[in-house]
Amino acid sequence: MDLRLAPHAVAMSSSEFLSWSGEVMDQLMKYTGAKKAVDRLTAPIWSWAIRNATVPLHFGIACCALEMAAASGPRFDAERLGMIYRSSPRQTEVLLVNGWVTAKLRPDLRRLYEQMAEPRWVIAMGECAISGGPWYDSHNTVQGVDTFIPVDVYIPGCPPRPEAMIDGFMKLHKKITKEMKGTFLND
Amino acid sequence: MERIGLAPGGKTGEVLAQDIAQKFPQLVTITKATHNRLYAKVDKAALVPLCSYMKDNLDFEHVTCVGGVDWLEEKKMQVVYHITSYANKVTAELVVDLPRDQPEVDSITPLWGGANWHERETWDMFGIVFVGHPKLERLLNPAGTEVFPFRKDFVSGRRV
Amino acid sequence: MAEMWLNMGPQHPMTHGLWNLRVKVDGETMTEAEPVIGYLHRGWEKITENRKFTQIIPMADRLCYGASMSWSHLYCLTMENLMEVEVPERAKWIRTIVLEAQRIGSHLMWLAALGTDLGSYTVFLYPVRERELFLDLMQNLCGARMTYNYPRIGGVRNDVPANFERDFTRVLNHFEKRLTDYEALCDQSTIFRMRMEDVGYLSAEKAKNLGVTGPNLRGSGVDYDVRRDDPYEMYDQVDWKVCVEKTCDAYARYRVKMDEMRESCNIIRQCIKRMKPGAIRVKPPRTAPKGKTGWAHVEDPRGEGFMYVIGNGDDRPYRLKVRSPIFVTVSAAPEMLVGYKIADVPAIMGSVDMCLGETDR
């Protein structure tokens, strides 16, 4: 940054002035330590907000989809923990892969993942999504969803019980808290 | 003992077997017949005449299943038809042998719409061509698959 | 108006499971429909050729996860036909009970899915709540909620737990009252009736010709049920009736399934009363003769399930062919859909009870 431009600030065009002043503020906050302070203060707020809106995509693939449905039923009531399913990938943060992924599904799943807005997470639920599971020698099954999209949380089980699925979401919440995703003034 | 499953006024499998054996003496071999089961080996040429006879005269109205079998050592393929009669409560199993290097058989989809996807799947998996089928395309495997995965010489393994 | 193709799926709230319905619409009226399946195909039949007979039972559970007991039972029944094993009487009674409990569980899941499809969230919540009771019963019996691995070739894995009769009777008493509630929720709801009645017409001739089976066939007025007409297990020993509706529309298919749940309760009650102590399992042969074939068909909650097996001379099958009821019913979907509005798709396809695990295999 060129602070020597300060005397000429009056003669700048408006866009030049905006970018210059923005940079000045940035540098000031960085060198005085104000930035760190603001980050420390706001990151918990942001991550709290993000982890309370981890909306999973309403996308049932196989057996685990029934446990997903059971989890949102009255006994387990996952809605109280913020797991409200939305049907459009644009509105969701969590891709819950709950079943085996086949060669025919793979491009569609990849596309769904790319349609989701950042920040986004992927949960691999059940053995099939983790590693291919019982279909390890199939000619058409992808051996694990992490071969083509990054996975954040693995929930083992065949199929996992709804409690396990809710626990997986709690683990994801912890991960979001640790990551401090939403630092206010990012470099 | 009262025969369970026999409809009032319906024909037993034995009666139907006699009927078929009279109608197709050379090309159809009845291997076994009980009161509600019927097993037959059918020559390729006689399949569609037999099926239309069964449909029109013997009240077989439902195709339960059509499936292929690959006999690698015997160098033949088989198509196994299971056809059920709701009126007589009899299920017939028809086995058709085909040469392995040119597996072709006439389609029964024009007779029973229920055979449509079974035949399409059998082509998809075994490469058995059903002549006269309305749409012989990939059904379960992704479009563009170049192998017939259920053949015995295709070794299933990690491919994807 | 210009016609256009519309994709519903693979990710679409209407598709329970994973499939793609391509419809050609003229304005809002469907003029053509083409289901695309195969998104869950994993070559089940090929994989089983590399597994031992006992290893296939848990895999058969995962054919249709909504009704896994029904499929693993069908597999065991097929193998018993192949190996000519006679199952002890007590095992048959237990199997009949769990099959009917599974039928209720499966139909409840279908009703829940239909509820969300039609925008009635209460109809989702209530059946899921009662389904948990049946899952608890199954869990007491075999230790798992959904994939039970319970039937064995030649019997069942273990005898019933303590207080089995009492628990079942309690749950059934509770459930039959609840069933009246669901009927009040659905049958007396004007919106539900308007969406379900007079859509998805499938005539009896068409249904028979297209191979539609099970509740969907009986909704078209065809009086056929494998349980009665080709009885297996103990269905010929108990007194029950086949539920048939004549109106051939989506509402008729819904009615058949609701009546079947009540009949299932009836069957379970009789079985519990008539069950006697005894052996639950016989030892089957370890291998099957080469080239010998066997087949069986059962009344799955969704239709006629069928398996055909060929022995290989060792402890693995040479070929195992599965006939899935929904595989054929989906192929008949264009017949039900064409001519109706695009907004009727959830009601029509919801009424046939889709399960794609068994369809794609």
| Residue scoring higher pLDDT (C354 or B2) | C354
Do residues C260 and C215 make contact, with C-beta atoms less than 8 angstroms apart? yes
Q: Which of C229, C306, C327 sits opposite B82 (nearest CB)?
A: C306
pLDDT, tens digit, for every residue of C267-302?
A: 999 999 888 888 888 988 888 888 888 899 898 898
The widest CA-to-CA distance across chain A, in whole angstroms, is 72
Give the one of B36, B62, B70 whose C-beta lies nearest to C208's C-beta: B62
**C33 domain-assigned:** no
- Is C342 inside a domain boundary? yes
The C-alpha atoms of residue B142 and residue C41 are separated, in whole angstroms, by 9
Q: Does A80 touch chain B (CB under 8 A)?
A: no
d(CA C120, CA C49): 44
Pairing, β A94-97 against β A121-125: parallel
Chains in contact with B via at least 3 Cβ–Cβ pairs below 8 Å: A, C
> Between residues 62 and 81 of chain C, which touch chain A (CB distance below 8 Å)?
62, 65-66
Concatenating the DSSP letter of every residue in C327-339 gives HHHHHTHHHHHTT
Q: Mind telling me how many Å the CA of B84 is from chain A's nearest CA?
A: 31
Confidence of residue A38 (pLDDT cuts 50, 70, 90): confident
A61 chain-C contacts, CB cut-off 8 A? 17-18, 40
CATH number for domain B13-131, candidates 3.40.605.10, 3.30.460.80, 3.20.20.70, 3.30.200.20: 3.30.460.80
Alpha-carbon gap, residue C102 to C146, rounded angstroms: 10
The structure tokens listed for C59 are: 């895999």
Cα Rg for chain C, rounded, in angstroms?
A: 20
DSSP B39: E
Q: Tell me: pLDDT of B126 over 70.
A: yes
CB-based contact A142 B160, cutoff 8 Å: yes
Q: Which of C212, C224, C361 sits opposite B86 (nearest CB)?
A: C224
Question: Residues, chain C, total?
Answer: 361
Distance from CA of A141 to the nearest CA of B (A): 7
What are the pLDDT digits (tens) for C56-102? 999 898 888 888 899 999 999 999 988 888 899 999 999 999 999 99
Quote the pTM value.
0.87
Count CB atoms within 10 A of the CB of residue C141. Answer: 24
Residue A185 has pLDDT above 60, yes or no: no
pLDDT of residue A3: 62
A147: nearest CA in chain B? B160
Task: Give the pLDDT confidence score for residue C292 in this predicted structure.
Answer: 87
Residues 111-150 of B with CB under 8 A from A: 141-142, 149
**B118 shares contact with chain C (CB less than 8 Å):** yes
Residue-level pLDDT at B159: 52
User: Who has greater pLDDT, B128 or A184?
Assistant: B128
Q: How many domains would you assign to chain C? A: 1
Residue B142: closest C-alpha in chain A: A104
Tell whether A65 lies on the interface with C, counting CB pairs under 8 A.
yes
Domain that holds residue C170: 53-355
pLDDT digits (tens, 9 = 90+) for C215-236: 999 988 888 888 888 888 888 8
Q: Do B142 and A141 touch (CB under 8 A)?
A: no
Identify the pLDDT of residue A186. Answer: 55
- pLDDT band of residue C309 (cuts 50, 70, 90) is very high
Q: What is the pLDDT of residue B1?
A: 36
A142–chain B Cβ distance below 8 A for any pair = yes
Do A143 and B160 lie within an 8 Å CB cutoff?
A: yes
Which of A104, A141, A143 is nearest residue B142 as measured by Cβ atoms? Answer: A104
pLDDT digits (tens, 9 = 90+) for B17-64: 888 888 888 888 888 888 888 898 888 888 888 888 888 888 888 898
Residue pair C35/C15 in contact by the 8 Å Cβ criterion:
no
Give the tokens for residue B67: 């499936």
Per-residue confidence (pLDDT) for residue A4, from 0 to 100 = 67
Hey, what amino acid is at C165? Answer: E
Quick one: tokens of B98? 């085909």
Alpha helix segments (H runs only) across chain C:
44-48, 53-61, 68-83, 89-117, 121-142, 164-187, 190-196, 204-209, 215-218, 226-229, 250-274, 325-331, 333-337, 345-351, 356-360
Q: Looking at beta carbons, which residues of chain C come within 8 Å of A140? A: 41-43
Size of interface A-C (CB pairs under 8 A): 99
The alpha carbon of A140 is separated from its chain's Cα centroid by a whole number of angstroms, namely 28
Cβ <8 Å between B86 and C208: yes
Q: Is B158's pLDDT higher than 80?
A: no
Under an 8 A CB cutoff, do A139 and B156 touch?
Answer: yes
Per the domain annotation, does C45 fall within a domain?
no
* Model pLDDT for residues A39-67, shown as the tens digit of each residue: 777 778 878 888 888 888 888 888 888 88
**Ramachandran bin of C303, using left for φ above 0, alpha for ψ from -120 to 50, beta for the remaining angles:** left
Percentage of residues in chain C with pLDDT exceeding 70? 100
Q: What are phi and psi of B84, to 5 degrees?
A: -110, 145
pLDDT band at B160 (very low <50, low <70, confident <90, very high): very low
Mutate to test the interface with C, among A57, A61, A96, A141 (most CBs of C within 10 A): A61
Is C17 part of a structural domain of the chain? no
A14 Cα to chain C: minimum distance (Å): 47
Residue B95 and residue C308: Cα distance in Å, rounded? Answer: 12
- The pLDDT score that the predictor gives to residue A1 is 54
Residue tagged 């590399």 (tokens): C50
pLDDT at B10: 72
Please give the pLDDT value at position B3.
Answer: 43
Task: Tell me how far apart the alpha carbons of residues B128 and B114 are, in angstroms, rounded to a whole number.
Answer: 18
pLDDT band at B2 (very low <50, low <70, confident <90, very high): very low
pLDDT, chain C, mean: 88
Ranges A17-26, A144-153, C128-137: which has the least confidence? A17-26
Per-residue confidence (pLDDT) for residue B8, from 0 to 100: 56
pLDDT of residue C104: 92
Task: For residue B157, list chain A residues with Cβ-Cβ distance below 8 A.
Answer: 137, 139
Residue A23 clears pLDDT 60, i.e. is over it: yes
- The verdict on a CB contact (< 8 Å) between C59 and A134 is yes
Strand blocks (E) in chain B: 28-33, 37-42, 62-71, 76-85, 90-99, 104-106, 129-131
Residues of B in contact with C319 (CB under 8 A): 67, 69-70
For chain B positions 29-68, those within 8 Å of chain A (CB to CB) are none
Identify the pLDDT of residue C1.
Answer: 64
- Taken as a whole, chain A contains a residue count of 187
Q: Check CB contact under 8 Å for B149 and C46.
A: yes
- Supply the CATH number for residue C251's domain: 1.10.645.10
CB C320 within 8 A of CB C55: no
Which DSSP string do the residues of C223-278 spell out, in sequence order?
A: ---HHHHS--TTTTTS-------SS-SHHHHHHHHHHHHHHHHHHHHHHHHH----
Residue A104: its chain C contacts at CB < 8 A?
38-39, 41
Q: Count other C-beta atoms under 10 Å from residue A187's C-beta.
A: 6
Reported as a single tens digit per residue, the pLDDT across C159-184 is 888 888 899 899 999 999 999 988 88
Choice among A95-109, B129-143, C3-17 with the minimum mean pLDDT: C3-17
Quick check: A66 and C132 CB within 8 A? Answer: no
Q: Do C213 and B4 touch (CB under 8 A)?
A: no
Q: With an 8 Å Cβ cutoff, is C342 touching chain A?
A: no
Query: B56: part of which helix (H) or strand (E)?
Result: helix B47-57
Residues 6-25 (B) with a CB less than 8 A from some CB of C: 7
pLDDT above 70: percentage of residues in chain B: 92
Over range B130-134, report the average pLDDT. Answer: 89
Taking contacts as CB-CB distances below 8 angstroms, the residues of chain B near C50 are 156
- What is the arithmetic mean of pLDDT over C141-168? 88
